[in-house]
Amino acid sequence: MYYLDHAATTPLHPEVISVMIKYLQTDYGNPSSKYYPQAMSASSALKESRKCVADLLNCDPEFILFTSGSTESNNFVLKGVVEKYRNKGNHIITSKIEHKSIIETCRHLERLGTKVSYLSVNSEGHIDLNELISLINESTLMVSLMWGNNEIGVVNDVEQISRICHERGVLFHTDATQVVGKIEIDLKKTSLDFLSISAHKIGGPKGVGAVFVGPDDLGLRRRIPSLMDGGDQEYKMRSGTQGMHNIVGFAKACEMAKANLKENNMRLLQLEKKFKEILVSKCPGVKFNGDQINKIPGLLSISIPGINNELLCKQISNQIAISTGSACSIGEKSHVLEALDLADSTSTIRVSLPADLDNVEEVASILLPYISLS
């Protein structure tokens, strides 16, 4: 079976599993405890893991906080900024094609009185930077725009957006869940205030992620309120005993992603190009949604005239795993495709390729008969 839904989640790499087992069986100590070997081992591993994640993002380890994943990271940032800076303003800017963890958090904040502006996108999935500039006002606290979209793969110009925000004294957050490990992230060059990632998109375990909380005007770690009250873990901003088996697995996945980044990027671009060429040659009516140049390599949103995407996914499910769109929106109309003004989102599938796919031609040969019958 070919698993082509890597935008939803990725399989655990064997080396990640091997590292995790040690912290489940022998080094099971609480990193906040002291004096005995299991606790000291966990404490040391926590420090080293933070460094591994920071190395992948090219930032200082002290700016990395571990969370349960990008959904928590996104909630933590948006809610925390609104609470901390409520005396300075009550306005957030985001877009209509963000992940649901941003959209739903913004709706929650709106019910509590926060004003939220939702940027439109063009047919390729890009925001209008002039609209962004026009919406920033004296009450704007933050702009939150994802680095790469999870359904269509379009990549935002994060560096330019960050510059626009900072020139106007506005904080900038990006959800980088889909680009981490596929596109280089260098937080020493790209000035961000907050960034969210998850381990399970890069061969790590589910249930763990991180948030980059950048420096304030003094160069010190910015402090925002915790989502959960309790202990002093994660610099007193994320209470709760750290799940060390997940954290060390995450760190190993980051280490491998950094080592293989360029090779995997090139491989995904090659696989995507070949897959698209085959589909177009055999089924000229297919359409690839979103910007096909500035995009996440290997992630394709494909509209195929005449198909029912749910039926197609079920028909090929024993041979190929694909999706109709975001795993967080199964059974619902895609707000991303609606924002692109696609007339019929039920004819659209999402394919997210693995870098180690060895036979893209065979994948296409399995898929094509179902397309031609539509």
Convert the pLDDT of each residue in 280-294 to its tens digit.
999 888 999 999 999
Q: What is the 3-state secondary structure (H, E, C) of 287-342?
A: EECCCCCCECCCEEEEECCCCCHHHHHHHCCCCEECECCCHHHCCCCCHHHHHCCC
Closest-CA residue to 197 (of 5, 10, 4)? 10
Residue 288: strand pairing partners: 302
Residue 273: count other Cβ atoms within 10 Å of its Cβ: 12
User: Which pLDDT belongs to residue 330?
Assistant: 61
User: Which pLDDT belongs to residue 272?
Assistant: 97
Distance in angstroms (rounded) separating the CA atoms of residues 175 and 315? 33
Tracing tokens 């088996």 back to the chain, one arrives at 245
**Residue 288 CA, distance from chain mean position:** 21
User: Which pLDDT belongs to residue 333?
Assistant: 79
113-119: long-range contacts (C-beta < 8 A, 24 or more apart)? 114/82, 114/90, 115/90, 115/91, 115/139, 116/91, 116/92, 117/91, 117/92, 117/93, 118/94, 119/93, 119/94, 119/95, 119/145
Are the C-beta atoms of 126 and 153 separated by less than 8 Å?
no
Cβ density class 97-117: b for 16+ within 10 Å, e for less: bbbbbbbebbeebeeeebebb
Closest-CA residue to 221 (of 243, 236, 200)? 236
Closest-CA residue to 54 (of 212, 228, 286)? 212
Record the tokens describing residue 305, joined without a space.
């005239």
Residue 88: helix, strand or coil by DSSP?
Answer: coil
User: Which pLDDT belongs to residue 331?
Assistant: 62
Residue 109: helix, strand or coil by DSSP?
Answer: helix
Q: Taking the alpha carbons of 123, 101, 45, 226 in that order, is the dihedral positive or negative?
A: positive
33-82 pLDDT per residue, tens: 988 999 999 999 999 999 999 999 999 999 999 999 999 999 999 999 99
Is 52 a residue of the active site? Answer: no
CB burial class (10 A; 0-12, 13-18, 19+) of residue 4? buried
For the chain, which ranges sit under pLDDT 70? Answer: 326-331, 343, 373-374
The kind and range of the H/E element at 15 are helix 14-25
User: Which pLDDT belongs to residue 326?
Assistant: 64
Distance in angstroms (rounded) separating the CA atoms of residues 182 and 251? 16
Q: How far is CA 305 from CA 25, 143, 287, 326, in A?
A: 52, 36, 9, 20
DSSP per residue over 211-275, as a string?
Answer: EEE-B-TTSSBP----SS-SS-HHHHTS-S---HHHHHHHHHHHHHHHHHHHHHHHHHHHHHHHH
User: Which pLDDT belongs to residue 327?
Assistant: 57
Residue 161: helix, strand or coil by DSSP?
Answer: helix
Record the tokens describing residue 174, joined without a space.
């990006």
The mean pLDDT of the chain is 94
Q: What is the pTM of this model?
A: 0.95
